[in-house]
Amino acid sequence: MLEDIQKHINILESLQIRSADDLEKFRIEYVSKNGVVNRLFQEFKSLPPEQKRIIGKYLNDLKQKAEKIWKENKDKFVFSTQENKIVDLTCPPAPLMLGSHHPVSIVRKEIIEIFTRIGYVVSDGPEIEDDWHVFTALNFPLEHPARDMQDTFFITRNPDILLRTHTSSVQIRVMETQKPPIRIIIPGRVYRNETISARSHCFFHQIEGLYIDKKVSFADLKQNLLYFSQELFGKETKIRLRPSYFPFTEPSAEMDVSCMICNGEGCPICKYSGWVEILGCGMVDPNVLENCKINSKIYSGFAFGLGIERITNLKFRIKDIRLFFENDLRFLQQFISVI
Ligand code: DAH
Distance CA 5, CA 170 (A): 91
Q: What is the pLDDT of residue 78?
A: 56
Average pLDDT over residues 91-99: 82
Neighbours of 61 (CB within 10 A): 14
pLDDT digits (tens, 9 = 90+) for 188-234: 999 999 999 998 999 999 999 999 999 999 999 999 999 999 999 99
- Residue 93 maps to a domain: no
Residue nearest to atom 7 of ligand 1 (CA): 280
The number of the ligand 1 atom at minimal distance from the alpha carbon of 281 is 13
Residue 233 and residue 107 share a domain: yes
Q: Are residues 62 and 134 in the same domain?
A: no
The answer to whether position 97 is within a domain reads: no
Are both 63 and 148 inside the same structural domain? no
Whether 83 shows a pLDDT value over 90: the answer reads: no
Per the prediction, the chain carries an average pLDDT of 92
Beta strands in the chain (DSSP E): 78-80, 85-87, 121-122, 128-130, 154-156, 161-163, 182-191, 203-214, 239-246, 249-258, 275-284, 299-307
Identify whether residues 163 and 45 lie together within a single domain: no
- How many percent of the chain have pLDDT more than 90? 73
In order of 27, 104, 259, 310, the CA distances from 205 in angstroms are 65, 8, 22, 9
Entry field: residues in the chain: 339
Residues 34 and 156 reside in one and the same domain: no
Q: Does any ligand 1 atom lie closer than 6 A to the CB of residue 180?
A: no
* Residue 17 pLDDT greater than 50, yes or no: yes
Q: Which residues of 255-265 are buried (b: 16+ CB within 10 A; e: fewer)?
A: bbbbbbeeebe
Does a structural domain hold residue 163?
yes
**3-state secondary structure (DSSP) of residue 285:** coil
Residue 91 forms part of a structural domain: no
249 lines ligand 1 (CB under 6 A): yes
Q: Given 83, 117, 146, which residue is the final one in a domain?
A: 83
Nearest CA to ligand 1 atom 13: 281
Position 98 in a domain: no
pLDDT class for 81, splitting at 50, 70, 90? very low
What's the rounded mean pLDDT across residues 61-69? 92
Q: Whose alpha carbon is nearest atom 12 of ligand 1?
A: 304
Same domain, 139 and 282: yes
Q: Give the distance (Å) from ligand 1 centre to CA of residue 310.
A: 14
3-state secondary structure labels for all residues of 61-106 = HHHHHHHHHHHHHHCCCEEECCCCEEECCCCCCCCCCCCCCCHHHH
Distance (angstroms) between ligand 1 centre and the Cα of 245 equals 10
* CATH code of the domain in which 130 resides: 3.30.930.10
pLDDT score recorded for residue 180: 97
Any atom of ligand 1 within 6 Å of the Cβ of 233: no
> 76 and 42 in one domain?
yes
| Whether 40 and 186 share a structural domain | no
Looking at residue 267, what is its pLDDT?
87
Same structural domain for residues 68 and 193? no
Res. 96 pLDDT band, cuts 50 70 90: confident
Amino acid at site 320: D
Between the CA of 247 and the centroid of ligand 1 the distance, in Å, is: 9
pTM across the whole model: 0.73
Could you give the CA distance from residue 117 to residue 299 in angstroms, rounded to a whole number? 24
Paired sense of beta strands 182-191 and 78-80, if any? unpaired
Give 141-161 pLDDT, tens digit per residue. 888 887 876 689 999 998 999
Ligand 1 atom closest to residue 305's alpha carbon, by position in its atom list = 8
Atom of ligand 1 nearest to the CA of 171: 12
User: How far, in Å, from the CA of 169 to the mean position of ligand 1?
Assistant: 10
- Give the other-Cβ count within 10 Å of 10's Cβ: 10
Backbone phi and psi for residue 301, each to the nearest 5 degrees, phi listed first: -170, 170
Q: What is the CA(168)–ligand 1 centre distance, in A?
A: 6
90 occurs within a structural domain:
no
SS3 assignment, position 147: helix
Per-residue pLDDT of 274-291, as tens digits, reads 999 999 999 999 999 999
Q: Are residues 152 and 239 in the same domain?
A: yes
Q: What is the pLDDT of residues 120-134, one digit of tens each?
A: 999 999 999 999 999
Q: Where among 49, 83, 117 does a domain terminate?
A: 83
Confirm whether 248 is domain-assigned. Answer: yes
What is the reported pLDDT for 301? 98
Q: What is the pLDDT of residue 261?
A: 85
Residue 321 and residue 178 share a domain: yes
Q: Is residue 290 part of a domain?
A: yes
Atom of ligand 1 nearest to the CA of 165: 4
- Greater model confidence, 261 or 204: 204
Q: Domain containing 175: what range?
A: 103-335
Is the pLDDT at 44 greater than 60? The verdict is: yes
Residues 288 and 208 in one domain: yes
> Of 60-64, 77-81, 141-145, 174-178, which has the strongest mean pLDDT?
174-178
The larger pLDDT score, comparing residue 111 to residue 96, is at 111
For the chain, the domain total comes to 2
* 246 ligand 1 Cβ < 6 A: yes
Structural domain ending residue among the three candidates 83, 117, 136: 83
